[in-house]
Amino acid sequence: QKEVEQNSGPLSVPEGAIASLNCTYSDRVSQSFFWYRQYSGKSPELIMSIYSNGDKEDGRFTAQLNKASQYVSLLIRDSQPSDSATYLCAVGDSGGYQKVTFGTGTKLQVIP
Amino acid sequence: DARVTQTPRHKVTEMGQEVTMRCQPILGHNTVFWYRQTMMQGLELLAYFRNRAPLDDSGMPKDRFSAEMPDATLATLKIQPSEPRDSAVYFCASVPGVGFYEQYFGPGTRLTVT
């Protein structure tokens, strides 16, 4: 069974700080990785995708991927109270069937 | 503004009743997923379709759940008979095409079975 592990949190950070969210995965041959944000009572929303080792930046968000360590992370710079949500890590199925496996999510709380 | 739509948004029903949930994927998206989300289990994949054909429904309790995609603009998930343990939020998501993994979620159907 392919697994995606995340710390459930809550992760509390003060406003303006960097929030660091981490995820490990079990499938060594996975090639596609995603971060979704889910506000309470809402549906998951795709915020980042990453396919190559290294960093990918989009505004205040940076996704980091290390395939050798089977590790993917999301950094949120200058955290805002509006960033308070649950962040889901998702890993694409290596079999090519467009499935992804979701982690259970990390709840982030940004304290004003 | 292209979005996945789901109906109904909320459903309260009694145990034993049939429940039908509907999903309209983003126009042109040919792969559709059904998920169930609970606090305890997180997001569980129930079934998914590509070009209206079922590819995998191994996550679905076969005795009571069924999923279909009668045309490219409609996917349905049916529970018959419903049970209290089916209470959850059911999400539909669609993907643009073969080779893409980015999933776009609908707003969900919150189901309560009493």
pLDDT at residue A24, rounded to an integer: 97
What is the distance between the alpha carbons of residues B98 and B33, in angstroms, rounded to a whole number? 14
Q: Which CA distances in Å does A55 have to A12, A48, A49, A62, A63?
A: 23, 11, 11, 7, 6
With CA atoms as reference, the chain A residue closest to B109 would be: A43
pLDDT at residue B56, rounded to an integer: 87
pLDDT at residue A53, rounded to an integer: 96
Residues 6 or more apart whose CB falls under 8 angstroms from that of B31 comprise A98, B48, B49, B50, B51, B94, B95, B97, B98, B100
pLDDT at residue B51, rounded to an integer: 83
What is the distance between the alpha carbons of residues B76 and B46, in angstroms, rounded to a whole number? 12
Q: Which of A51, A86, A85, A81 is nearest to B102 (CA)?
A: A51
A78 — contact with chain B (CB < 8 Å)?
A: no
Least confident range from A24-38, A48-62, B8-22, B91-105: namely: B91-105
The per-residue pLDDT for range A51-104, each reduced to its tens digit, is: 999 999 999 999 999 999 999 999 999 999 999 999 999 999 887 678 899 999
Mean pLDDT computed over B2-26: 97
Residues of chain B contacting residue A35, judged by C-beta atoms under 8 Å apart:
none
Going by DSSP bridges, is the β-strand pair B10-13/B109-113 parallel, antiparallel, or unpaired?
parallel
Mean pLDDT computed over A20-45: 95
The per-residue pLDDT for range B17-67, each reduced to its tens digit, is: 999 999 999 998 989 999 999 988 889 999 998 888 888 888 898 899 999
pLDDT at residue A85, rounded to an integer: 97
Residues of chain A contacting residue B33, judged by C-beta atoms under 8 Å apart:
99
DSSP code of residue B77: E
What is the distance between the alpha carbons of residues A28 and B56, in angstroms, rounded to a whole number? 22
CB B17 within 8 A of CB B86: no
